[in-house]
Chains A and B, each alone.
Chain A
């Protein structure tokens, strides 16, 4: 069953087409890998899907909704969330509060309830705190629970971003270079966690330059070049594709 459909999406910056008529589909429970050189349009494609840089042309559907022009926060509420290539943790908040700030909590976050929190609201807050602690445990971040997120290592910040989106109980997560600047041990750990989450039914699209990790993670792979999709299919077959080797690795690998 298709969860996310991207239909001939184009995103321009001035006269430059960063994403040029890209179409792809993601089935529920799938992990799709996206590779490509720097400037191939991968992150812009994410921004078009998640709403930071809405598509100029084409259509994006998620779960039956046309989300092409929806505000980013509305897309997130539908269960479509993303992380960022350069980590965007809330640096002055603790790791735990980073997760808490992401939890859907419309009543608790009302201004008046800041001054007179009812017992009911405090209980709700406690439940969210417990959920956040569970996720921190799952991501091996419990040790840094009360550390200000701005002081974490790059790899830990990536994990905090993953933890934050998990607070939304998402159905589809877009991971933008989850392994960039992350040490090999932690890469293995992140892979494990992504597989576990995937086994629970969460679909992923992963942008990554670390091809070995991406290949082992993805069920299907796409390679982008100059805003277009160059090849698509089984990861090994895609990486063996001469056009991919030509464009992506200069024909070396």
Chain B
């Protein structure tokens, strides 16, 4: 039970990290990134592959964040030429391209067989202790990112990001070039996605390309939209609630008679859909609304 609860908690925090990254890109700057999972996958595979070569885990995590940020550079540069819906489609396509590349380049990634036996974080600590330690570490990282985001949003840099989100052309008429700011925030968000990927890889210990489908991106979006875009509390609680619900509703099966395992999975998604509709109807700016830090 402790193991299961901490597993839910860990996955929820990994999603919270993804949502915080997306909050920087979309919540503040209004960059529509539908390719979140691409950087998540890059982080997971970067860290996973390096760790299999015997690189210490701490270095793997740093490399995952850095490489994801680096690969966000060309996509960030693309975002300079594309507005909203076009950027959304390009990033979505990019994430599928990344997934299929991972699937095809067997010499590097073992293709569809995936990478089994990745070293687990705190592996030497025994079963419940290791999970709790991972949870605590993730919670600390999330707390750090939250504090950083709040600082960022209140800083002159954050003010400019919000101005870009409101009206980019008006900002450039005021002598500021939005380009470099957008690229930077794209890279910073991607670094968080990559870091989340590394945590995922070294918690699950077995990664395959089919774990990195666009649905992951949309879970992150759902969490952020339900919680409230542009609000740290929204990003955090929205994604945690979503994950706790998706994972935790497995238990509901025990109390609801006459629903099969498969039926329950569908029911779960239907409930998420319903919640999304209700939130957009009654809280159009998300549970925590507005664009305050």
Contacts and interface: CB of A to CB of B under 8 A. Distances in A.
Interface of A: 50-52, 71-74, 76-77, 81-82, 84, 88-93, 97-98, 100-102, 104-105, 108-111, 113-115, 117, 125, 164-165, 167-168
Contact of A109 (B151, B160, B172): B160
B113 to A, nearest CB: 40
A101 B157 contact: no
Contact of B159 (A89, A93, A111): A93
Contacts of B158: 114
A111 B155 CA distance: 9
A101 B163 contact: yes
Counting chain B CB atoms within 10 Å of each CB, which of A104, A109, A125, A167 scores highest? A109
Nearest to A91: B166
Interface string B236-277: 000000000000000000000000000000000000000000
A125 B156 CA distance: 8
Interface of B: 148, 151-152, 155-160, 162-163, 165-167, 169-177, 181, 184, 188, 230, 291
Contacts of A76: 172-175
A104 B160 CA distance: 11
A113 B160 CA distance: 13
A76 to B, nearest CB: 4
Residue among B148, B160, B165, B184 with the most chain A CB within 10 A? B160
Contacts of B156: 100, 105, 108-109, 113-114, 125
B175 A93 contact: no
Contact of B173 (A73, A98, A114, A117): A73
Indicate the member of B156, B159, B181, B188 with the most A CB atoms within 10 Å: B156
Contacts of A165: 174
Given A88-B167, A104-B175, A111-B157, 10 more contacts: A76-B172, A89-B170, A92-B162, A101-B160, A101-B162, A101-B163, A109-B156, A111-B188, A114-B157, A168-B175
**Interface residues of B, dominant DSSP:** helix
Shortest Cβ-Cβ A-B pairs, 10 listed: A114-B155, A76-B175, A88-B170, A90-B166, A114-B157, A101-B163, A102-B174, A108-B156, A73-B172, A77-B175
A199 B162 CA distance: 34
28 contacts: A52-B169, A72-B169, A72-B173, A73-B173, A73-B174, A73-B175, A76-B172, A77-B175, A81-B173, A81-B175, A88-B169, A90-B163, A90-B167, A92-B165, A93-B162, A97-B159, A101-B159, A101-B163, A109-B156, A109-B160, A111-B157, A111-B188, A113-B156, A113-B157, A114-B156, A164-B174, A167-B174, A168-B175
A100 B174 contact: no
A100 B175 contact: no
A75 B170 CA distance: 13
Instruction: Point out which of B152, B162, B172 has the most chain A C-beta atoms below 10 A from its C-beta.
Output: B172
Contacts of A109: 156-157, 160, 176, 181
A168 B174 contact: yes
A90 B181 CA distance: 16
Contacts of A88: 167, 169-170
Contacts of B172: 71-73, 76
Max chain A Cβ within 10 angstroms of own Cβ: one of B148, B175, B184, B291:
B175
A115 B175 contact: no
Contacts of B148: 115
Given A73-B177, A77-B175, A115-B151, A100 B169 contact: no
Contact of A114 (B152, B165, B177): B152
A81 B174 contact: yes
B157 A110 contact: yes
Contacts of B174: 73, 76, 81, 101-102, 164-165, 167-168
A52 B168 CA distance: 12
Nearest to A167: B174
Contacts of B160: 101, 109
Nearest to A87: B170
Contact of A73 (B157, B166, B176, B230): B176
Contacts of A90: 162-163, 166-167, 170-171
Contacts of A81: 173-175
A159 to B, nearest CB: 15
Nearest to B177: A73
A89 B166 CA distance: 8
A92 B166 contact: yes
A102 B166 CA distance: 13
Pick from B171, B173, B291 the residue with the most CB of A within 10 Å.
B173
